[in-house]
Structure 1
Amino acid sequence: MSGVALSALLGSGLAVAAAAPAGAAPHPTAPHPANTWTVNEPGRSTLSAELDLDSAGELRLAVDRGSAPVLLPGRLGIRTARHDLTKGLRLVKRHDRTVHESYRMTTGKQLRRSATMREATFTFRGADGARLGVVVRVSDDGVAYRYLLNDRGPVTVESEASTFEVPTDAKAWLQPYVTSYETERTETTAGAANEARPGTCTGDTCSFGYPTLFEVGGTYVLLTEADVDGRYSGSHLDHVAGGSAYSVALADGAPVTSDGPLATPWRTAIVGSLDTLVGSTLVDDLAPPSKVRDTSWIRPGVDDWSWLSDGSSPGDYGRQRDFVDYAAEHGLQYTLVDAGWQASWVPELVRYARAKGVDVILWFDWNDLKTQQQRDAWLPKVKAWGVAGVKVDYMYSDSQSTFQWYDAILRDTARLKLMIDFHGATIPRGLQRTWPQVMSVEAVRGEENGQHSTRDIFLAFTRNIVGSMDYTPTWFSRPGRQDSLGHELALPVVFESGWTSLGDNPEGFAAHPVAERFLEQLPTTWDETRLVSGGPGAQPAGDRQAVIARRSGHRWFVGGILAGTSDTMKAPLGFLGKGRWLVETIGDSDGRLRRTVRTVTAADTLAVPTAAEGGFVTLACPATRGRTDCEEPVVTAPAASLTLDPAAVTAGPGQKAGIGATFTLPEGAALHRVRMTVDRDRLPAGWSVTGRDVRAGTLPAGRALDGNWTVTVGKDQPGGEIDVPVVVTYADPAGGKVPPIHVEKVVKLSIPLHGTVYASDQPFLTETNGYGPVERDMSNGEAGGQDGQPLTVGGTVYAKGLGMNAPSQVGIDLQGRCTRFEAHVGVDDETNGNGSVTFTVLGDDGRRLATTGVLRGGDSAVDLTVDVTGVHTLGLVVGDGGDNKNYDHADWGLARLTCAD
């Protein structure tokens, strides 16, 4: 919707896209004298859409392929708070043009895109004089339509009459609608879809989620929507038992309100053979162009992800280093650190990873990034840590407000040059074209939800067609695994995802070195995608298969998966092109993986014996003299060394500290374009650095690069500890358009505590909290970070302090320089009189310095004043008052320390 400018619906009628795409050729025509109008696919008439206006002024749209009907005439129309534009319509004007879209993606099944669509805009007048625009587009892979409303000021859409009519005997592959899109798909018929009584039914009506697949007389139709943003909501399809109609229903049955003029999302049908569907880019073709001009920082790739195989490991710094080491050794671009990470060690992990040529992706609960305040607190912080991107989880909504949140976080991450993966999310609707930093989207019942080989087949022909799919594949060591090793290995080829998060651990991968070699070669972006064989329906032998080929440069990667008994899977190799090709195939053999190599031509057919619930992968490259495999070398970052002198230093406000650094490469090939510097941008305001950057065009092994700088602490700098980063960058030995290797260490610069110091401004040595994180200068709020309210106890508001939830504790380093701690403590008023807590102040070795009795919600704050002379580690502890932790939102209002000057 964004980027579409609508002209006034006055006098001359309605126009779309004031700025037509390059290649658009307008062809205005007078209204057709009949009440039926046809829009044909450009250049030929294979696909056509027929718009019909009946005697009651009701609109219907049908789709034909060739001479055969695919979608029967289905209702069109829309109801707003002001107008009923579903009946009593009459045509005012028709305007035709050809739209050509040519663009490049950063992710997806095909990086370079080109699409030509025939577009007709029909302007209708309603019974009350209001005008409705209906835009119909037809391409070689489908049909789409949208509504245009020219109301000025707010436009409230109450519902759509939009309906897809499918013959009741058409085969159907349907997913009961839930906002996570994590239910299982079922094979049925269009009319019998409700008989299984999925959990999203009310009376005779059941709801189904996009994308929804039907087979009508040998033609496949995949229904979905495109171009949804915060001006609208997502939708799904409602179906009445036994009927042919699948009606568009807005999220939660709620109206949407936007500033007019308004263009609604595209109601979209991808139409054709299964090969057409698998290769279709229609959803992206209908989306607005990229809002990100410079995409050079966006880097798809493979990551190893510890949560699936080792659920507690994201909270273990040492274990995360194991995953970093594995990624570095095998040429993976990323490590994904999921729920459980600690801010105390993530910066060090990022530094460790980047020195090895591995970037870190960091998981977030969306409750920690829900508000602008939360995003402004977290996203610049993790960017400064060196995190490459974020994985955000648990949105679980198609509401308009949630799409407005998507708009906001996409603007924020684009500005900060952070890539993003949406987990626990809605389906992609062209999002990756408009916001190319989106690497993947979950909206799938993936590997973490158990194995189901039939599900895997269905997904290849439904969900993964419309955009990158964060399935998190390949878990060889899964306890009780039901599918074969070959099936697991094939999944990251069959399923496209800009970030592919592999689900096993280093030990699980190491048990299968043949698979490791293949995964080292795996791209996550593709120049071309082809369906080789298979389909969602059961084959004559009773099984289901999908074999998909994807090209990256001069190499083809083929993945085949089987749902059913053992079989010989066949893959015609016509997609290879001319000449002789070297083909490496890895498949199942007596419970292990076996690799074979042969030379073929495009006239050959690959036949791979496959285990039950099995699969295989193939890597093909042009056969040249002396070549025995298709592998490209895995280039890893060398073990360079950066040392700092001193590693820690103390300086007060306005004082200077000297920093020295030495960078060496003990052995190996020389490094190029080397630069060593202090990262001034990450120092607090008011600080300064003198000393030049140190550079070397070439740095051979054994030669040292030395640098010296003087850092001056800002005159207004409060006490505490600041990391001063020294950074060395050099050209990645792998070459190409990859970012430089980043080696970083920090000097711990301590500023002595002095004067009045607020606890909320100090780093925590330790932190535990009974519900969500400890909040600084706000109440505990909910489970997310930065989601509290002003600290308020007994009606008194405190601008500074800590918000906690029992049982909780923080530790603060006082450096032995403070003499007094004071705070106004009590239960925050946000509990509405509920909750009971105790407050305790601890000194070194857990020595109790002060404690309160039980304080209850609604009580006035209690003043705490504690002598902390000589204390190095201060502990602030909240207990639950002897009952449970419910409502135990404890405030340390104006918690402050008096320290030496």
Structure 2
Amino acid sequence: MRTLSFVFGLVLTATPLAVPSPASAAAGWTVSGPGGGVSARLALDDAGRLSFGVDRQGAPVLAPAPIGITTAGTDLSTGLTLAGRSSRTVRERYTRTTGKQLERDVTLAESTFAFTGAGGARLDVIVRVSAEGAAYRYVLPAGGTVTGEASSWTLPADAPAWLLPYNPNYENVRVQTTAGSAAAGDYGFPSLFQVGANYALLTESDVDGRYDGARLTHAAGSGAYRIVLADPGITATGPLATPWRVAVVGDLATVTSSMLTDDLAPPSRLTDTSWVRPGMVAWSWLSEHSSPSDPVRQKQYIDFAARNGWPYVLIDEGWNAAWVPEVVRYARARGVDVLLWLHWTSLDTDQERDTLLPRFRSWGVAGVKVDFMDSDSQDRFRWYDDILAATAAQHLMINFHGATIPRGIQRTWPHVMTLEAIRGAEQFRTRAATNTMFPYTRNVVGGMDYTPVTWAVTDRDTTDAHEVALALVYESGWTHLADRPETYEAHPEALRTLSRLPTVWDETRLLTGAPGRETVVARRHDDRWYVGGISAVAAHTVAAPLGFLGGGRYLAETLRDGDHGLVRESRIVRRGDTLEVPEPANGGFVTVLCAYTGAATCDRPVRRVPATTLTLDPSTTDVHPGGSVTVEAAFTLPAGGPITGVKLAARAPQGWTVRGPAVADSGMRGGDTLRGTWTFTAGAGVPTGATELPVAAEFTFAGDPGSPDTPGKRPVHVEEVVRALVPPADPSGTPAVSDLPFLTESNGYGPVERDRSNGESAAGDGNPITIRGTAYPKGLGMHAPGEVTVWLGGACTRFSAQVGVDDEVAQSGSVDFRVLGDDRELASSGVRRSADPAAPLTADVSGVRILTLRVTDGGDGKNFDHADWADARLSCGS
């Protein structure tokens, strides 16, 4: 990540003004942006109150409105005097990993105004102006506790407005109104207003844990919108620079392409972003909510993504740590990376982050989707600071759902691929009129995870081409396509387009449109242009000028709505031509423009990874602390190829060592095998339980086109593991199972409880084990589906328990109890219900190494299935 900031012509004019009283004569100052098109006006009235306004091309867009800040000790919104002014020119040059313009070079004029207030309190107001708008922030050199801001904006009461009634996840329905007639209440950023021929987009930038997120509040009938903070008080230790109060001003083309919010944000915190890769994501939760809990179904999504060159699959709520590592290995061998969903409270402590994030990385997970933050408080922004640093340290990309809006976060933290903060397709009600507002509002300030292209959403008034075009018109570093593989394959022309769309852009231009009516946008990626249109108006023909093209002829390949479904058509165009596309009501289209070479299509090959195999011998083993196992690996390319840069190596898990060199081959062809041998040794202090000993091959392959977003080669990672068990001591006597260490455990709700019923979701919250009025001091409390495994080592002969549904359930549950030895069923109870008494369950476990106690839901779902293994015991040798 390259980020450079330049400061030119620093002019210090901080000459103190000799003013005997806090109030001063009215004064005003102008800060003009490069070219003079946009200027900011800062004024001080006779009472020492500040106001701020913005002009464009000499005409007011935002009339002067009160600004200022209050702290617990001082009111710095009145009684101010100017102490001095300094000015400079700031040039920002940086490269983004995501967004509508990857390379940015912008110049801003900056002036710092120093004021003093009551008791000599100091307040600096910094104003920055670019060709795209103006912004200001406060600096409190002495810090303190901020209790509020007087910051505000003033619009003409009749100014058309596109506003979002505020809630902290920014998922309310955006409304079209006017500045004055908008309902009284709070509105979320960004807010768009039209003033004559100009537009003003109001938002903020550079918010982190030193402050909180703001919103606008409005009184009915007024054109005034005042800043309201999320917290009653914001405490700063030492000097405090507040977030920027930002107004993007200009025509709609200026607003939609603006990056002013990013220009004002801090530079990248990352020096290496080579591991950050945007791209298309297959996501199953919206179209089939239960699928994230099904590893077989997730592999089907992975196969679909691999066939179509999509680099990611997101496994949402419901995944299980017991099977995720194997699914990740399956995906990576096919050139697909896995993303995992988490509730934010799973990562809200240092301990959780230090435990879970390295574990995900060790599995090979590429990134996480974190959900339900639902707050703009300072505490929550401090959490954002922590999670951003922690995920970056583990090279895990991140997507924030149930989140606040972007405020320059994707410049500062380039591994943020996208954020929700939008009423997207997962609300299951799609309207063209609101879809056409988002490109001019929410999506201006950063990646927007709308989860588009969903035939699963049946309550929509959009056409099929409109749905496909959302993947282009909306910018998101990760674009989560939210329908089933079978649905996309039933729309082959849509899938053909989606499998070749980039998700990051070198350049973006609005060609035509208006909020709530239509959007036609052109985006460039490398040497080709993509034009996408969505409509919320009656049937018409779109006329998009192609003046942005370079010289020569281009093939324009368009996907649009036809009379009987999606159709594809082509024509040859030149710079200066007009692209004309017929659209039905609420329709859309996607056009790809590539240099015309005589080919009939702009399609490029889809990235498909050659099939390989990696076998390990042994595949399972027992290793005692201090012991070793020698593993032989064979990596084979059965057919096809060639593959290049092949490397085969072993990796030692924590507490283990591995001996043996990596082996390599510069190229392999069909039928070739690469072999290696390694010896893994368990350290004396390794914990008991299951461990995976990984061996992996990495390679590139000839003809790999790369992904649409990543130039060059993405190595393919093929990994298999030896499943090693570090066993505890063999049990002896007649131990209770609840007193033995668990090798593995899983549970349908909360953890498995020892000597208590399942209870609720927390550990230790169960009750005494009770079945039909009989209490048992020992046993296991489970919730179907669940199981535990324990080590017997062949030392035991008999298992016994009293099984049943615990009395704590409020309604009838049903559970089937099963006893397995070394994965072979030894005994089962049949379905036991709440009304049934405890039933004896015994099994001969002679020679069994690993005992599994499993409960299933009885075939009618898991509700109220609190399963008790009462007085579960073993008979073992001495």
Q: TM class by shorter-chain length? A: 0.7 to 0.9
- C-alpha distance in 1 between matches for 2:594 and 2:612: 34
Q: Which position in structure 2 is the counterpart of 1:5?
A: none
Q: Which amino acid aligns with 1:21?
A: S
Contact in 2 for aligned 1:732/1:739 (Cα 8 Å): no
Pick from 604, 618, 637 the counterpart of residue 646 of structure 1: 618
Contact in 2 for aligned 1:425/1:442 (Cα 8 Å): yes
Pick from 330, 348, 364 the counterpart of residue 342 of structure 2: 364
Matched, 1:464 2:446: no
Matched, 1:164 2:144: no
- Greater shift after overlay, 808-817 or 329-338? 808-817
Matched, 1:595 2:575: no
- C-alpha distance in 2 between matches for 1:130 and 1:891: 70
Matched, 1:699 2:635: no
What SS class does the counterpart of residue 289 from structure 1 fall into? Answer: coil
Contact in 2 for aligned 1:308/1:448 (Cα 8 Å): yes
Instruction: Show CA shifts across 1:211-260 (max 9, x none).
Output: 00000011000000100001111010000111121011011x42111212
- C-alpha distance in 1 between matches for 2:62 and 2:760: 47
Q: CA 1:807/1:644 → structure 2, altered by over 3 Å: closer, same or farther? A: closer
Matched, 1:432 2:405: no
- C-alpha distance in 2 between matches for 1:670 and 1:361: 29
Question: Structure 2 length as normaliser, TM-score?
Answer: 0.87
Q: Which amino acid aligns with 2:748?
A: T
Matched, 1:248 2:232: no
Pick from 579, 585, 592 the counterpart of residue 619 of structure 1: 592
Matched, 1:684 2:654: yes
Matched, 1:558 2:524: no
Q: Which position in structure 2 is the counterpart of 1:422?
A: 400
What SS class does the counterpart of residue 464 from structure 1 fall into? Answer: helix
Pick from 540, 543, 547 the counterpart of residue 567 of structure 1: 540
- C-alpha distance in 1 between matches for 2:233 and 2:751: 35
Contact in 2 for aligned 1:236/1:249 (Cα 8 Å): yes
Contact in 2 for aligned 1:60/1:76 (Cα 8 Å): yes
Q: Which position in structure 2 is the counterpart of 1:862?
A: none
- C-alpha distance in 1 between matches for 2:744 and 2:385: 33
What SS class does the counterpart of residue 728 from structure 1 fall into? Answer: strand
- C-alpha distance in 2 between matches for 1:480 and 1:591: 20
- Aligned-CA RMSD value: 3.6
Q: CA 1:698/1:493 → structure 2, altered by over 3 Å: closer, same or farther? A: same
Q: Which position in structure 2 is the counterpart of 1:514?
A: 493
Q: Which amino acid aligns with 1:393?
A: D
Matched, 1:224 2:203: yes
Deviation at 1:679, TM superposition (A): 1.5
Contact in 2 for aligned 1:718/1:754 (Cα 8 Å): no
Deviation at 1:389, TM superposition (A): 0.3
- C-alpha distance in 2 between matches for 1:726 and 1:270: 53
What SS class does the counterpart of residue 82 from structure 1 fall into? Answer: coil
Contact in 1 for aligned 2:430/2:459 (Cα 8 Å): no
Instruction: Show CA shifts across 1:853-874 (max 9, x none).
Output: 99xxxxxxxxxxx999757435
- C-alpha distance in 2 between matches for 1:179 and 1:821: 54
Instruction: Show CA shifts across 1:771-824 (max 9, x none).
Output: x566999999996xxxx6899999xxxxxx9998867844224345566999xx
Pick from 587, 593, 604 the counterpart of residue 632 of structure 1: 604
Q: Which position in structure 2 is the counterpart of 1:39?
A: 30
Matched, 1:749 2:727: no
Pick from 609, 632, 643 the counterpart of residue 660 of structure 1: 632
Q: Which amino acid aligns with 1:72?
A: A
Q: CA 1:803/1:531 → structure 2, altered by over 3 Å: closer, same or farther? A: farther
Q: Which amino acid aligns with 1:259?
A: T
The alignment covers a number of residue pairs equal to 819
Q: How does 1:202-213 map to 2 (within 5 A)?
A: 205-213=184-192
Deviation at 1:674, TM superposition (A): 0.5
- C-alpha distance in 2 between matches for 1:732 and 1:775: 50
Q: Which position in structure 2 is the counterpart of 1:49?
A: 40
Deviation at 1:841, TM superposition (A): 10
Pick from 519, 535, 545 the counterpart of residue 518 of structure 2: 545
Q: CA 1:586/1:869 → structure 2, altered by over 3 Å: closer, same or farther? A: closer
Q: CA 1:792/1:477 → structure 2, altered by over 3 Å: closer, same or farther? A: closer
Question: Structure 1 length as normaliser, TM-score?
Answer: 0.84
Q: Which position in structure 2 is the counterpart of 1:448?
A: 426
Contact in 2 for aligned 1:48/1:65 (Cα 8 Å): yes
- C-alpha distance in 2 between matches for 1:660 and 1:524: 41
Question: Gaps (5+ residues) in structure 1?
Answer: 1-18, 195-204, 538-543, 795-800, 823-830, 855-865
- C-alpha distance in 2 between matches for 1:749 and 1:789: 28
Contact in 1 for aligned 2:624/2:682 (Cα 8 Å): yes
Matched, 1:714 2:694: no
Contact in 2 for aligned 1:362/1:390 (Cα 8 Å): yes
Instruction: Show CA shifts across 1:528-586 (max 9, x none).
Output: 0000100115xxxxxx1100111000111111001132221221111213222111011
Pick from 747, 771, 777 the counterpart of residue 767 of structure 1: 747
Deviation at 1:485, TM superposition (A): 0.9
Q: CA 1:156/1:898 → structure 2, altered by over 3 Å: closer, same or farther? A: farther
Contact in 1 for aligned 2:730/2:793 (Cα 8 Å): no
Deviation at 1:120, TM superposition (A): 0.7
- C-alpha distance in 1 between matches for 2:40 and 2:515: 26
Q: Which amino acid aligns with 1:671?
A: I
Q: CA 1:358/1:760 → structure 2, altered by over 3 Å: closer, same or farther? A: farther
Instruction: Show CA shifts across 1:161-187 (max 9, x none).
Output: 101111111110011000111111111
Contact in 2 for aligned 1:576/1:601 (Cα 8 Å): yes
What SS class does the counterpart of residue 593 from structure 2 fall into? Answer: strand
Q: Which position in structure 1 is the counterpart of 2:138?
A: 147
Q: Which amino acid aligns with 1:128?
A: G
Instruction: Show CA shifts across 1:711-737 (max 9, x none).
Output: 222233343221111100012542543
What SS class does the counterpart of residue 489 from structure 1 fall into? Answer: helix
Q: CA 1:746/1:581 → structure 2, altered by over 3 Å: closer, same or farther? A: same
What SS class does the counterpart of residue 657 from structure 1 fall into? Answer: strand
Q: Which position in structure 2 is the counterpart of 1:13?
A: none
- C-alpha distance in 1 between matches for 2:385 and 2:331: 31
Q: CA 1:566/1:774 → structure 2, altered by over 3 Å: closer, same or farther? A: farther
Q: Which position in structure 2 is the counterpart of 1:6?
A: none
Pick from 161, 169, 179 the counterpart of residue 180 of structure 1: 169
Deviation at 1:898, TM superposition (A): 11
Q: Which position in structure 2 is the counterpart of 1:82?
A: 73
Q: Which position in structure 2 is the counterpart of 1:123?
A: 114
What SS class does the counterpart of residue 360 from structure 1 fall into? Answer: strand
Q: Which position in structure 2 is the counterpart of 1:26?
A: 10
Q: CA 1:185/1:802 → structure 2, altered by over 3 Å: closer, same or farther? A: farther
Q: Which amino acid aligns with 2:691?
A: I
What SS class does the counterpart of residue 325 from structure 2 fall into? Answer: helix
Q: CA 1:275/1:20 → structure 2, altered by over 3 Å: closer, same or farther? A: closer
Contact in 1 for aligned 2:816/2:828 (Cα 8 Å): no
Contact in 1 for aligned 2:855/2:867 (Cα 8 Å): no
Deviation at 1:188, TM superposition (A): 0.8
Q: Which amino acid aligns with 1:212?
A: S
Q: CA 1:688/1:467 → structure 2, altered by over 3 Å: closer, same or farther? A: same
Instruction: Show CA shifts across 1:831-882 (max 9, x none).
Output: 9xx9xx9x9998555679xx9x99xxxxxxxxxxx99975743549899xxx
Q: Which position in structure 1 is the counterpart of 2:218?
A: 239
What SS class does the counterpart of residue 193 from structure 1 fall into? Answer: coil
Question: Gaps (5+ residues) in structure 2?
Answer: 18-24, 732-736, 769-777, 801-807, 821-825, 836-841
Instruction: Show CA shifts across 1:349-384 (max 9, x none).
Output: 111110010101111111212222222221111111
Contact in 2 for aligned 1:227/1:266 (Cα 8 Å): yes
Q: Which position in structure 1 is the counterpart of 2:803?
A: none
Q: CA 1:605/1:504 → structure 2, altered by over 3 Å: closer, same or farther? A: same
- C-alpha distance in 2 between matches for 1:323 and 1:368: 26
Q: CA 1:391/1:20 → structure 2, altered by over 3 Å: closer, same or farther? A: closer
